[in-house]
Amino acid sequence: EVQLVESGGGLVQPGGSLRLSCAASGFTFSTYSMNWVRQAPGRGLEWVSYITSGSSAIYYADSVKGRFTISRDNAKNSLYLQMNSLRDEDTAVYYCARDPTRGYWAIDYWGQGTLVTVSS
């Protein structure tokens, strides 16, 4: 069974930093591209970042470019999101999400999310 478990969320002051982690299991993590997607309270989904299986291609939403860094450790079956210079508008539930990487383009599995609150 595919499982994606996010951790690392919490309360942080504006301008602060936070590192999110996603532990993957139930599939061969090293062969799949991955994403982070966020959802502000009461709002819609916002795609944040994408990384290929070997980290050769990385993309970001304009709203986080230069502040957030996506990375992965295939030996640890883990995906990360380093978030710096956090702003109030970064407050959201952050989802780790898998790209099927073969056959079709979509996000096929999602974690349950971790809440990041940016507030003074």
CB of 39 to another protein, least distance (A): 8
46 or 91: CB nearest another protein: 46
Phi, psi at residue 119, to the nearest 5°?
-160, 150
Q: Spell out the residues 6+ positions from residue 62 whose beta carbon is closer than 8 angstroms to its own.
A: none
Contact 47, 37 (CB under 8 A): yes
The residue type of 4 is: L
CB of 104 to another protein, least distance (A): 5
CA angle, 107 then 110 then 111, to 5°: 160
CB of 91 to another protein, least distance (A): 17
16 or 54: CB nearest another protein: 54
**Residues that bind another protein in the complex, under the rule CB under 8 A:** 35, 44-47, 50, 59-62, 95, 99, 104-108, 110-113
The CB density around residue 80, as the number of other CB atoms within 10 Å, is: 19
16 or 40: CB nearest another protein: 40
Contact 30, 74 (CB under 8 A): yes
3 or 17: CB nearest another protein: 3
CB of 61 to another protein, least distance (A): 5
